[in-house]
Amino acid sequence: MKKERTILISSAVVYILLYIFFYPKTYAIFDESCYIDLAYSLRQGTVYFDETNIYLHFPIKSGEHLVSKYPPGNSLLLMPLTFLGKRGIFLYGLIFHILGYLIFIKIIREHKMNTKYAIFYLFFPSYVLFSRTVMSDIPATVFFLMGFYCYKKENYLFTGMSFGLSFLIRYVNIILLPIFFCIMLFRKKRKGFNILLGFTPFLIIMLFYNKISYNSFLPLGYFVEGSSFSIRGIPINLAVYLLPLFLIYPLMIIFPVIYRGKSWLEILISCALFLFFYSIYSPGHILYTSPPLKALPKVLLLANRYFFPVIPLIFISYFSVCKRCIKYPYFQIILVFLILLTGSIHFYHNRYLKFQVEFREALYSHTDENSLIICNGEVTELVSEVWGRRNLVVFDKEDFSLSSYNYNKNIWLASLIKFDTHGATQIIALRDSLIARFDAELVEKIDGTDKGFKLYKVK
């Protein structure tokens, strides 16, 4: 027992030290900027961005207002960290990942398994990457885990409340609620109705938030960009989602099918339902836009983020085999390998963020709050309330006319082309046509991610 505790504590310390050493200086995913935007707007007491001076990345037009398409839960949790300044906000992923690790230790202890296997959760490569972000995936997973732990302890009211928080962060997590409720009814435990009782306040919050934001009680924000369900997408989506769960931890995805220990029914149905839902949902195939070999690390780390809530359940079935196959000397080797892999993920992600910081500082050093920046969509990732306000017009996403703006000719043209930018050739053509049209002069050029960042002054 003492040896297990030493492994668990020392692993957490190593993880925290690696995180601090490679501390994120900015964000790299478009969604992160959107969550930060909403956090700052909520801090001002409104969901309407037209009532603030905050630039919202690709807003939804709802009546007379501009609103975000994202659920409020993640931004509500993020809001307190906005008071810690520009860097403090990036403690978010670390806090929730360590919290999830602690809860997961309790869960596997409930299943009479060796708690040292919790290091597979702590150092799971996709969790490592997303713990460096302010994305919703890690927090939503943590609250689901908290609900699952309360479920095992037969505290069904808190189960429902935890599931409700997870749902308020990611609406899709509602598909897990009926599983646990129906299993309780099947086992003739009327206390299972407490799950619904605990969940109801969060459902009400969601309904009113959507009514205020979208003039409808339904969660329309998710579907405004045309995301849809299609049977035709099943083969490629299954390939994208199953590949990481076969390769990151070998054959991990097959064990929920053969596992028959504690919670086997909840694990099997939860995994099957998540896999079915995302196999008919559209986002998975977009990860294969790069050549397969170049895209493989990206696919392995990013694709299974949709499965984050149920991956800890898969671990439970996986550990039933690990305890027989991984003896102590092999466990030590695996632990060292996972630590080295975690350090590598931090290193490469930090190197990517370094370019993001260079691009952002170049943009902000030349412009001010009164500038108008005409740019492609990738550039909008560099602008946030965290760093300072800027006025943007996206030339590859919307029609615009300079005659409708009065900025005393303080106008700039910016482009950011990364190795995975969609439609890069078309964006470059549009940018070049604008350069010729406005006789724009190049003032800054930074190479780094394929074609890099360019900033022009419009004369």
Residues 6 and 89 grouped into a single domain: yes
Using alpha carbons, select from 300, 418, 287 the residue that is nearest to residue 356: 418
Residues 289 and 386 grouped into a single domain: no
Q: Indicate whether 139 belongs to any domain.
A: yes
Q: Indicate whether 329 belongs to any domain.
A: yes
Residues 402 and 375 grouped into a single domain: yes
Strand partners, 453: 416, 446
Classify residue 247 by its DSSP letter. H
288, 295 Cβ separation under 8 angstroms: yes
d(CA 93, CA 334): 24
Provide the CA 242 distance to its chain's centre, in angstroms: 19
Strand partners, 452: 417
Residues 187 and 238 grouped into a single domain: no
Both structure tokens of 280: 């008919």
Residues 73 and 169 grouped into a single domain: yes
DSSP structure string for 363-388: HHHH--TT-EEEE-GGGGGG-BTTTB
Residues 24 and 79 grouped into a single domain: yes
Rounded to two decimals, the pTM is 0.91
Q: Indicate whether 361 belongs to any domain.
A: no
Using alpha carbons, select from 56, 61, 327, 420 the residue that is nearest to residue 220: 61
pLDDT of residue 6: 93
List the 372-375 sheet strands across, edge first. Answer: 391-394, 372-375, 411-417, 452-457, 441-446
Residues 379 and 295 grouped into a single domain: no
| Residue owning tokens 């990457």 | 129
Within the chain, which residues score under 70 in pLDDT?
A: 219-229, 282-296, 397-408, 420, 449-450
Characterise 449 by phi-psi region: left (phi > 0), alpha (psi -120 to 50), beta (else). Answer: beta
- Interstrand relation of 391-394 and 411-417 (parallel, antiparallel or unpaired): unpaired
Q: Indicate whether 357 belongs to any domain.
A: no
Strand intervals (E) in 28-131: 60-62, 65-67
Using alpha carbons, select from 352, 353, 387, 366 the residue that is nearest to residue 454: 366
365, 382 Cβ separation under 8 angstroms: no
Residues 45 and 21 grouped into a single domain: yes
**Which one of 316, 347, 378 terminates a domain?**
347
**Which one of 318, 347, 376 terminates a domain?**
347
Contacts 24+ apart (CB under 8 A), 292-297: 294/419
Q: Indicate whether 202 belongs to any domain.
A: yes
Using alpha carbons, select from 390, 345, 348, 366 the residue that is nearest to residue 453: 366
Q: Tell me the CA end-to-end span of the chain in Å, nearest whole number.
A: 71
Residues 235 and 202 grouped into a single domain: no
pLDDT of residue 149: 97
Residues 312 and 380 grouped into a single domain: no
Q: Indicate whether 13 belongs to any domain.
A: yes
Secondary structure of residue 415 in the 3-state scheme: strand
Using alpha carbons, select from 343, 344, 334, 346 the residue that is nearest to residue 120: 334
Q: Indicate whether 358 belongs to any domain.
A: no
| Residue 275 amino acid letter | L
Both structure tokens of 12: 């957490």
Q: Is the dihedral of CA 7, 8, 13, 15 positive or negative?
A: positive
Strand partners, 414: 375, 455
pLDDT of residue 240: 77
Number of domains in the chain: 3
Helix axes 137-152, 92-110, angle to 10 degrees: 20
**What is the tens place of the pLDDT at every residue in 4-52?**
899 999 999 999 999 999 999 899 888 898 899 899 999 999 999 888 8
DSSP structure string for 143-179: HHHHHHHHHHTT-HHHHHHHHHHHHHH-GGGGGGHHH
Classify residue 222 by its DSSP letter. G
Q: Indicate whether 356 belongs to any domain.
A: no
294: containing domain: 231-306
Domain holding 376: CATH number? 3.40.190
Characterise 390 by phi-psi region: left (phi > 0), alpha (psi -120 to 50), beta (else). Answer: beta
d(CA 31, CA 135): 7
Residues 102 and 169 grouped into a single domain: yes
Secondary structure of residue 47 in the 3-state scheme: coil
Residues 73 and 154 grouped into a single domain: yes
